Structure 1
Amino acid sequence: MQVTETLNEGLKRGYNIVVTAAELDEKVNEKLVEAQPEIEMKGFRKGKVPMALLKKQFGQRLLGEAMQESIDGAMNQHFEDSGDRPALQPEVKMTNEDWKEGDDVHVEMAYEALPEIPEVDLKSISLEKMVVKADDAAVEEALGNLAETAQDFNTKDGEAADGDQVVFDFVGKVDGEAFEGGSAEDYPLVLGSNSFIPGFEDQLVGVKGGEEKDVTVTFPADYQAEHLAGKEAVFSCNVKEVKEPVAAEINDELAQKFGAEDLAALKGQISERLEAEYAGAARAVQKRALLDALDGKVSFDLPPSLLDAEAKQIAHQLWHEENPEVEGHDHAEIEATEEHTKLAARRVRLGLLLAELGQKAEVEVTDAEMTQAIMAQARQYPGQERQFFEFIQQNAQMQQQLRAPIFEDKVVDYVFELAEVTEKEVSKDDLEKAVEALEDE
């Protein structure tokens, strides 16, 4: 077998591979010898079929296998000897298309090699970690929000307004006929909740207890009940009571509604939750600072194919953000600009660097971490969790999409441990400004 270099330009590599007819024949014979003891054929005892007959019977079929194994073996040996790691799957094609049995096999292999990643002194990196404590004002604000969610309604005199609760009986009719599911008694409807057909709640604004009112609405064209879709309906409403919202009192009783022993315990839980949220936001700021620091410390050639693919993906993503009304992807191709390519270069460079750091540090994503990530995604498909799990198990690309951010975060945590990190206590407003600055970049 001969492997001859034809291209070595930057990260681009090209090779000619020649597998001789003699090598193929030898590999076919090896396969036949290996299989001979188990082969039975009419007129011969098991394992006693002559090699010449076996070759005539199975040689043609085994030749294709031998050819593929030889080419794969040559490629693997090349990567082992050269130390090259292809950025993407190598392009391999047979060049003597008129090949026939007895001829040598000529193959061209082309790929882009991953660059050599320079060493980085991680201990030389200095980072600031923002620390925010949950102050009394933040805890009281969160308590107030909880009290609103636990609000009650008290009877009021006067007209119903947005946010009020209307308790009423109603009967809905289409073409003068009542329809199934269109009636109820003592139904408590919060105006502005958008829980009824569009336009229904608006017409109840201003009603009083004891009042009767007809509400006329048109069912949406895509309404789930097809026999009602697009049709006009009249609901005869008998308003029994109008109630206004009253926030729950902030006391031990409220705390117990949310599973805490008393108000002090609830405040403690809120404080922990807030500080966990602050820590998550602070980590995002610290991670960006780390990536900026790493980006400034390394420089190396980037595989053009990876750079081009990333630039196109960025351009496509940003185009959809600017054109949210376009949901599908059957639009004209989005051309990547110089700005897209610049952003892509940073992402590819940092991606390769983090991958190298993670490999050297033997960072791995555990099965438990993958399961947790899959379960988190599956919750977005209630009732179809099992099908989602099966889909992920059969889709290697989706598995990689879930594994990649977990791996990156573990590598980032590894670098945080080695870098010089100084904690700085700041206000919630300072942290929010830092997070907004990230989003603006």
Structure 2
Amino acid sequence: MQAQLETLGQLERRLDFAIPSADIETAVDARLKRVARTARIQGFRPGKAPMKIVAANYGLQVREEVLGEQVQTAFASAVQDQKLRVAGFPRFEGKPAEGDAFKFSATFEIYPEVVVGDLTAVEVERPVLSVTDAEVDKTIEILRKQRTRFDRVERAAEKGDRVIVDFKGTIDGVAFAGGSSENYAFLAGEGQMLPEFDSAVVGMKEGDTKTFDLAFPADYQGKDVAGKTAQFEVTVKNVAGATMPELDAAFAKTLGVEDGSIDALRAEIRKNVEREVKRRLTARGKEAVMQALLDVSPLELPRALVGQEIGRLIENARQEMQQRGFDPKEMPFPPELFEEQAKRRVSLGLILAEVVRANNLQAKPEQIQTIVAEFAESYEHPEEVVKWYYASSDRLEGPEALALEDNVVEFVYSKAKTVEKQLAFDELMGQQA
């Protein structure tokens, strides 16, 4: 079979090829004979209908099937001969038959040649943070605050009290959207409300009502009221003082330390904090490495691959909305919202594959085993989690991908100008990772 390749663009190609008519007819006849053995045609016993009748009933369907299969086979053979890597799905077009052959053309994109740039000229930050007693103490305080009890008090509201209020805001005597609420709870003086609102409520008692002016900042998120001055009327309905639990055996037991040992509690918290710090440091460092790879390895991307990735992202968004209780049919998902993310993911996929291939960075079994063990560590019965992962090779794909990414990260660190960046605990833990 002869095939002619034409370059239409940087990645777009068109392949013209022909299939001998005799090959089509031979395949159609062979398939019709197989169909005839079991064909059920009215007036004939199964398998006894004349070939002419079988052809009249099934010939068109069989010919379409054979043509489709022959086109796919011929295209695959031509692509292999031309040593092309097809990205996405080709678009086939039939042409008028000439002589003793059926002619077709396939338009498609190919994968780009991935050339990873010079990593030695790149500076990559490697975030570091050591967990000390101070971080453990801070985490314990957070846990105590999370378990704060609020009890009603008959005094004026103070900073840190939980207050429940009714309020109504107006601008030039007219109520505005979001400016009114009933039984609204917040912590006084903790920055949950605008400063003027906070300062007005601090010092009020249950049953007190106050009217005051509040100037919305010019950059306030509510554009309709930004830069304007509103008048608020607030009524305090409840003031509750905060009581944090003591750091004692009872508190330790609420966190799963059966014997109530404070030392055991601190050891467990340190282990958990170290695990979370490691996870976030890894995520942040990985992000820096991936950006470095993108910066030094610009790519022309096949539109087909980007389109497929956009489709996957939209489907993931639909599923997430459904899990949150929304009807995804009522939510618009414009493809352009996902285009940049899709391009980034496709680019990284191609670049990572080339880095792994060129430098033999495939994940090793012991790496996968370590990652699975780390996953399992946070569960009550880690051995059962490990068994679950190793019960199916499909379940190991996630840990294997993480191990592969870790190998790429370490490889880039070894080649690039790596600069350690000391992070503050609050900075790291405040970042969504």
What band does the TM-score fall into relative to the shorter chain? 0.5 to 0.7
Matches within 5 A, 1:36-75: 36-41=36-41, 46-75=46-75
Q: How many residues align?
A: 332
Whole-angstrom distance in 2 between the partners of 1:19 and 1:31: 18
Q: What secondary structure sits across from 1:248 in the alignment?
A: coil
1:120–1:110 distance in 2 versus 1, CA, 3 Å: same
Whole-angstrom distance in 1 between the partners of 2:292 and 2:430: 18
Superposed CA deviations along residues 74-106 of structure 1, whole A, max 9, x for unmatched, are 22222333332222222222344xx89x99543
Give the stretch that moved more between structures: 243-252 or 45-54.
45-54
Report what 1:16 is aligned to.
16
* Aligned: 1:79 with 2:79: yes
Q: 1:295, CA displacement in angstroms?
A: 4.8
Q: What secondary structure sits across from 1:60 in the alignment?
A: helix
Matches within 5 A, 1:13-412: 13-41=13-41, 46-96=46-96, 105-117=102-114, 130-153=127-150, 156-161=153-158, 163-164=160-161, 208=205, 243-260=240-257, 261-291=260-290, 294-295=293-294, 302-303=300-301, 305=303, 328=332, 348-357=346-355, 409-412=402-405
Q: What secondary structure sits across from 1:90 in the alignment?
A: strand
Report what 1:413 is aligned to.
406
Q: 1:126, CA displacement in angstroms?
A: 11
1:18–1:419 distance in 2 versus 1, CA, 3 Å: same
Whole-angstrom distance in 1 between the partners of 2:89 and 2:397: 18
Task: Tell me the TM-score normalised to structure 1 length.
Answer: 0.56
Task: Give the aligned residue type for 1:60.
Answer: L
Question: Residues 17 and 107 of structure 1 are in contact (CA less than 8 Å); yes or no, is this contact kept in structure 2?
Answer: yes
1:55–1:155 distance in 2 versus 1, CA, 3 Å: closer
Whole-angstrom distance in 2 between the partners of 1:435 and 1:424: 22
Question: Residues 125 and 293 of structure 1 are in contact (CA less than 8 Å); yes or no, is this contact kept in structure 2?
Answer: yes
Identity of aligned residues (%): 23
Q: What secondary structure sits across from 1:87 in the alignment?
A: strand
Superposed CA deviations along residues 140-175 of structure 1, whole A, max 9, x for unmatched, are 1121122222223456442245753579xxxxxxxx
Whole-angstrom distance in 2 between the partners of 1:65 and 1:131: 61
Q: 1:14, CA displacement in angstroms?
A: 0.9
Q: 1:71, CA displacement in angstroms?
A: 1.2
Q: 1:114, CA displacement in angstroms?
A: 0.8
Whole-angstrom distance in 2 between the partners of 1:35 and 1:312: 42
Task: Give the aligned residue type for 2:424.
Answer: D
Whole-angstrom distance in 1 between the partners of 2:27 and 2:61: 13
Whole-angstrom distance in 1 between the partners of 2:19 and 2:333: 44
Q: What secondary structure sits across from 2:87 in the alignment?
A: coil
Question: Residues 248 and 262 of structure 2 are in contact (CA less than 8 Å); yes or no, is this contact kept in structure 1?
Answer: yes
Report what 1:177 is aligned to.
none
Whole-angstrom distance in 1 between the partners of 2:342 and 2:36: 56
Whole-angstrom distance in 2 between the partners of 1:425 and 1:17: 57
Task: Tell me the TM-score normalised to structure 2 length.
Answer: 0.57
1:434–1:46 distance in 2 versus 1, CA, 3 Å: closer
Q: 1:344, CA displacement in angstroms?
A: 8.8
Cα-Cα RMSD: 5.7
1:153–1:19 distance in 2 versus 1, CA, 3 Å: same
Whole-angstrom distance in 2 between the partners of 1:45 and 1:153: 85
Task: Give the aligned residue type for 1:6.
Answer: E
1:124–1:26 distance in 2 versus 1, CA, 3 Å: farther
1:306–1:31 distance in 2 versus 1, CA, 3 Å: closer
Task: Give the aligned residue type for 2:89.
Answer: Q
Question: Residues 357 and 411 of structure 1 are in contact (CA less than 8 Å); yes or no, is this contact kept in structure 2?
Answer: no
Q: What secondary structure sits across from 2:137 in the alignment?
A: helix
Whole-angstrom distance in 1 between the partners of 2:295 and 2:334: 39
Correspondence for 1:429 among 414, 424, 429: 424
Whole-angstrom distance in 2 between the partners of 1:155 and 1:47: 88
Q: What secondary structure sits across from 1:94 in the alignment?
A: strand
Question: Residues 111 and 302 of structure 2 are in contact (CA less than 8 Å); yes or no, is this contact kept in structure 1?
Answer: no
